[in-house]
Chains A and B, each alone.
Chain A
Amino acid sequence: MRNRLRTTIIAGVAATVVAVGMSFAVQPVEGQQGYQAPRTADGMPDLNGIWQAVSSAHYDIEPHAARFGPVVEMAAHGAIPGGLGIVEGGEIPYRPEARAAQQENLQYWMERDPAIKCYMPGVPRATYMPYPFQLVQTPEYVLLAYEFASASRIVYMDRPDFEAPVDSWMGHNIGRWEGETLVIDVTAQMPDTWLDQSGNHHSNSIHVEERYTALSENHLMYEATITDPETYTRPWTVSLPLYRRIDENMQLLEFKCVEFAEELMYGHLRKDPDLTPSFRASGHGSDRQIALEPPQ
């Protein structure tokens, strides 16, 4: 009796060991909801494509009701829509002085928002701005090309020890795979970027850990955990889905917005600044010509 029990137990344990061994054999770790993306030719989850967030997070990443916009003539088009926010837990855990700074940024956001001047938006803001971006995977790199301001960032997939040589607007990006998830560590970002149009800010110490996981053929889940002890009392996370742009012949178009920001930034230095009021009233959005003739 005891021998048969022992044999049974041993057989059961052996079977479990074999089963566990087989499950570690060649199956990749499953994604969050069980979906596994097709593989690239070099065996990694294939996240290639043109993606875009559909969200009001670019206005304000914290939950908020609709509110007035800054330009009277823009009326309904210029007002800020409400949003559920993308901050897990709903509120950014600011240090008190950092929250006060955010409130002041919000009040003066038109003058202070760097993206209004077509400055590169940094990470994670670039992900949820209302413009598409293209993810291109190679064996050694992931390239993220954003339509806004032609901002781009190169993610090094095979150099985990490559330290940032210098600060930059789009950060120093080191990537790795964790099962189905592309993880990107972003360091050395300029302190000048914001997280949205509502004055949410950070310091040069910010460290962002992004996670991109395929939920289906046409959806990614995007999560970004932000650590910055100078600004926040603890790490916190934003998360939102990203949608594949499946439009026929989809491609990024140019949004080289420097041209659109020149009047704002240098208009007061033009030889004939009196032209400014006529530009604003023209109502024409494209190919605005700055007069080259001398004033009479």
Chain B
Amino acid sequence: MKSAPAEVVASLSHVPGVAAAMVVGSADGLIVETSAMKGGAAGGPDTRKHTAALAAYLYSKVSRASHAARLGTPSFMRLEAERGHICVVGADDVVLVTIVTPEANVGRVRLDMMHAAGEKS
């Protein structure tokens, strides 16, 4: 990752449809830097810590599956759910995680995450 975590988070959180952007330790699943959660219910539970830990864990398992299938390191992971998406991109010792609304342009989110991770899209 070329930029500082705070810059990456600030940049990704401004992409339309991104509800939260986080830089997460890939080994420990702990948040390094995060944006505020947009559109979250006022006073509702903050799920970013859970999302960060589970997304990092899931990405590590997806990486193992990808290597097992001799496909190499995954460049982009998108989990599509009922009310949005979780996108993950690996970048050295961290993973970039975004929580994205269903209306978002996922292609734009992917491009910006790949760019932030310093990879070619």
Q: Specify whether A and B are partners.
A: no
Which chain A residues have a beta carbon within 8 Å of chain B's beta carbons?
Answer: none
Which chain B residues have a beta carbon within 8 Å of chain A's beta carbons?
Answer: none
